[in-house]
Every structure is written in C-alpha cells, then in structure tokens.
C-alpha cells in the first residue's frame, strides 16, 4: 500500500486555486474548498488498495481499440 497524500490546508487550496485561475467571492471559495476536500478524501481511498505489480492502465488492457 502507498502512503496517502496529506490533507490540503485552506491556505494551500487558495494558492493552488489562484494558480489554476479559479476565482470567486469568499463564500464560493469556501464552498469549493469543502467540495475539493471531499473529492480528495474520496480519491485517497485508492491508496488503501495494494496495487503492487500493477502499472496504470487508462483502459482495460484486454480491449482492442484504436483507429
């Protein structure tokens, strides 16, 4: 299993939001911060799964696709 990334602070969020070009009043940015924290927490669940021996696969490797 891989270690989970640390939880994002409000300060780090606002810095990153500015870099990403995301703007809004305080209420909007607070709501977006809460939404983002929730998304990151759910996403972090994948670090609890032991994926030793597996490489990232954007599609099912058994598929034959491509133009």
Residues in contact with other proteins, counted by CB under 8 A, come to a total of: 39
Residues 4-63 that bind other proteins (CB under 8 A): 5, 8, 13, 16, 20-22, 28, 31-32, 35-36, 38-40, 42-49, 51, 54-63
In the complex, minimum distance from the CB of residue 23 to other proteins, in angstroms, rounded to a whole number: 8
Q: How far apart are CA 59 and CA 32, in angstroms?
A: 30
Count of CB atoms within 10 A of residue 2's CB? 11
Q: Are 35 and 17 in contact (CB under 8 A)?
A: no
The total of other beta-carbon atoms located within 10 Å of residue 13's CB is: 19
Q: Which residues bind other proteins (CB under 8 A)?
A: 2, 5, 8, 13, 16, 20-22, 28, 31-32, 35-36, 38-40, 42-49, 51, 54-67
């Amino acid at each position: 299993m891989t270690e989970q990334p640390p939880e994002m602070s409000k300060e780090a969020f606002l810095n990153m939001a500015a870099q990403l070009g995301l703007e809004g009043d305080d209420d909007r940015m607070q709501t977006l911060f809460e939404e983002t924290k929730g998304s990151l927490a759910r996403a972090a669940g994948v670090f609890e799964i032991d994926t030793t021996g597996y490489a990232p696969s954007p599609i099912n490797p058994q598929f034959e696709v491509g133009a």
